[in-house]
Amino acid sequence: MSRTRSRGFTLTEVMISVVLSIMVFAALGTLLNRCFSLWVDAQANWKLAQHARVTRARLLYGAFGVGTGVLNGSNVTVQAGSGDWSGWQMVEFEPVNDVGYCRIYAWPGTSAKNICIEKEGAAQLAWAQEVRYASGEDPLVQVNNFDASVISNLLSMTYTLHFSAMGKDFKLPQTIEAYLVNN
């Protein structure tokens, strides 16, 4: 009598294929998780870079139109904030092509706050690190460790931008040095 072989898989073959499939899917899951984590990090660093660019432009060139920044200012001084602004460091300057003073307030300590730009006489405020003007809510990106000095017409400002996303904190130290031609 001839014996015919069945065309199915044995239990051993099925178990081996299941184990191999589990290993492949576990590796793919780990890879996808790592790719997502890298994507979140890249997006947060990109956001910080964009806010760093906006902050630099607003501080140097103006938050209230072209020519209202430190580079277009005269009589630039750095001092401690007073009154409502006590505890903040203040950079005060007079825009050459505008009336009144502008002030940059920033928190020198380790607590993350923001950089606020005030235009005297116009009752205007703006966050330096945000594209939009100040409103009732705090900016997404915060700032701390702000320090400014003016020595021999060289303005130096250092600060750190902070952004939190997906349970992680991202930091980007910044240094701005500008030679003041109008002082």
On whether residue 10 sits in a domain, the answer given is no
Distance, CA of 78 to CA of 93 (rounded, Å) = 9
Structural contact between residues 60 and 52, judged by C-beta atoms closer than 8 angstroms: no
- Residue showing tokens 């589990």: 22
On whether residue 80 sits in a domain, the answer given is yes
What pTM does this model have? 0.76
On whether residue 46 sits in a domain, the answer given is yes
On whether residue 24 sits in a domain, the answer given is no
| pLDDT tens column, 126-179 | 888 876 555 555 567 888 899 999 998 899 999 999 888 778 888 999 999 988
pLDDT over 70 percentage in the chain: 91
Give the structural domain span for 89: 40-179
> CB neighbours of 87 closer than 8 A, spacing ≥ 6?
81, 107, 109
What is the total count of domains within the chain? Answer: 1
